[in-house]
A and B are shown apart, each in its own frame.
Chain A
Amino acid sequence: GESVGLHLPTLSVQEGDNSIINCAYSNSASDYFIWYKQESGKGPQFIIDIRSNMDKRQGQRVTVLLNKTVKHLSLQIAATQPGDSAVYFCAENSGGSNYKLTFGKGTLLTVNP
């Protein structure tokens, strides 16, 4: 069935290091993929998205890489800061839907000062 999953449930890094969060997906029909950040007690917050016809997209301190060959998505955070500590979810538009999102399980990122 359709699924979006994560390789690592937890990731602990030192402040200033770069972080890489990985995600595997199984639905080849998805048109775009999104990374969300969720802090404790808050709703998910959009970070960056990438369309299926791209393999890389950069934002402020973040880069998303998409490898359609192996159905793999990653989020790279440069110079990780304590404020980056949160759960990170990847999501995809379900089966090419123009509104329905399928979320992965999430990775808890902890940044140590």
Chain B
Amino acid sequence: GAGVSQSPRYKVAKRGQDVALRCDPISGHVSLFWYQQALGQGPEFLTYFQNEAQLDKSGLPSDRFFAERPEGSVSTLKIQRTQQEDSAVYLCASSSVTRPVVGSYNEQFFGPGTRLTVL
């Protein structure tokens, strides 16, 4: 595809349910990012992959959040035992650089996001 795709686009879950959100990055992109965007706020960093390695997960809000990218392409963000405060848009972004260069902007291409609503 031409851009980053995410599925599903909308997800409604009952509190306590587990959810899995999928991200298909731009083909060949090495770096992959997950962000959480609450209503009316800017995106907040969750985690970063370089190929299949999860190099930074400092933004994951709790141990209920888990992300993986086992083959270095598609990534899944899993949220266990969802809570109402997990309601947000989850954005995935990818970047082509192999080794991000400090002091230079390595453009991140964003997908449309998955809107998660926890009832």
Contacts and interface: CB of A to CB of B under 8 A. Distances in A.
Interface bracket on A? 20 to 34
Interface bracket on B? 20 to 34
Contacts of A31: 102-104
A43 interface: yes
Contacts of A45: 110
B72 interface: no
A101 B31 CA distance: 14
Interface stretch (A14-22, A67-75, A92-100): A92-100
Contact of B107 (A46, A51, A104): A46
Contact of A44 (B43, B95, B101): B43
A44 B41 contact: no
A17 B43 CA distance: 29
A44 B45 CA distance: 13
A102 B111 contact: no
Interface in B85-119: 91, 93, 95, 100-113
A25 interface: no
A99 B40 contact: no
Contact of B45 (A32, A96, A100, A106): A100
Given A89-B42, A105-B42, A100 B56 contact: yes
Nearest to A102: B45
B99 to A, nearest CB: 8
Nearest to A101: B45
Given A32-B103, A43-B91, A43-B113, A101 B40 contact: no
A61 interface: no
B40 A44 contact: no
15 contacts: A31-B104, A32-B104, A32-B105, A43-B4, A43-B113, A44-B91, A45-B110, A96-B102, A98-B100, A98-B101, A99-B56, A99-B106, A100-B45, A103-B43, A104-B42
Interface of A: 4, 31-32, 34, 41-46, 49, 51-52, 89, 91, 93-94, 96, 98-106
